[in-house]
Structure 1
Amino acid sequence: MNEALSRCDVDLRGLQASSIDGDAKTSPFGGASSPTNSSGQSSGADQLQPPSNWEFYTREVDWGRTCFVQTHRGIAMVGFMGSPGNGLVGFVSSVFSGETRATWHVDDKPAYVSDGSESDYFTWHEFGQLPMELLDQMAQGNELAVTSAKGERVAVNLTGAADVLSKFTACFSKW
């Protein structure tokens, strides 16, 4: 049942991201529409600070309380999870198949290579051996790209991610 709930959660988050990428006016997942002026353009307040597509949350899983931070790009999801004694784990859904080696790269910063495979617990690909420095790079960066050795790739925007990453880091290092 936990696996079914996790799959449902991933699917709903992907649908929400898809509705944000497209026309969300009729979607039940679309948020409130941005205020517009008489010319139909967004108000200046929205243009000053773009919203972050990154989210932080915690969840009880089989091994205990776990911290998560993630974002979506269409139906693809990219994120990280961490819990005491398990280290930092990156995850990507709807991009890779089978066992894969991927490069995690922020802008012009050093890249990190990690082996990954589909999780037996979640429905995504998990990548271990990622350093906490990657989160620091992301907090200062513009784009995170995850590319497999086969050339499969997803790139996500890091605009507004610093605050959410800070919450994740604090949660992850709390225990």
Structure 2
Amino acid sequence: MKNSESLLPTFETPEIRPYRPGEPTVSSARSALMARVRGANTKPELIVRRAAHALGYRFRLHRRDLPGSPDLVFPRLRVALFVHGCFWHRHENCRRATTPKTRTLFWSTKFEANVRRDQRVVAELAALGWRSEIIWECETINPEKLRVELHSRLGSSRLSRIKGGNH
């Protein structure tokens, strides 16, 4: 089996260098905001975890032995679920997938690398016999729609819980 990483183009992170006249600056407020971005246990991820658990699904978190360290892993179903932020993972046609006005080359390179990595991870999981599902940040806003979406993507005999019935 070929190493799939060698098939993808590599992106170098732009070097950090001092300010040069004529370049837009990054405000300290923007810098502080970006420093607060987390990779795990985000608000949308916690919402999805609570909803999946309430529906009766049992899962593992951030399994590092799987490609991409999925946010939720359902071993019995062989499903790896990712909770993607619309901004970082470029949710198509979503108003949250904006591009910053400053340092557009940096951001477009970063976003392209994120999307390519996401595609590579899905392919690697499929090769290992896992089904990948993605819940977008904007899909976590409406709890009822999220519950129905989780059920349709994970499937099971838990439909009575969605409709409010007992076991």
TM bin, normalised by shorter chain, reads under 0.3
Higher relative contact order (CA 8 A, sep 6+): 2
Structure (1 or 2) with the greater helix fraction: 2
Please report the TM-score for the alignment, with normalisation by the length of structure 2.
Answer: 0.22
Flag the structure with larger Rg.
2
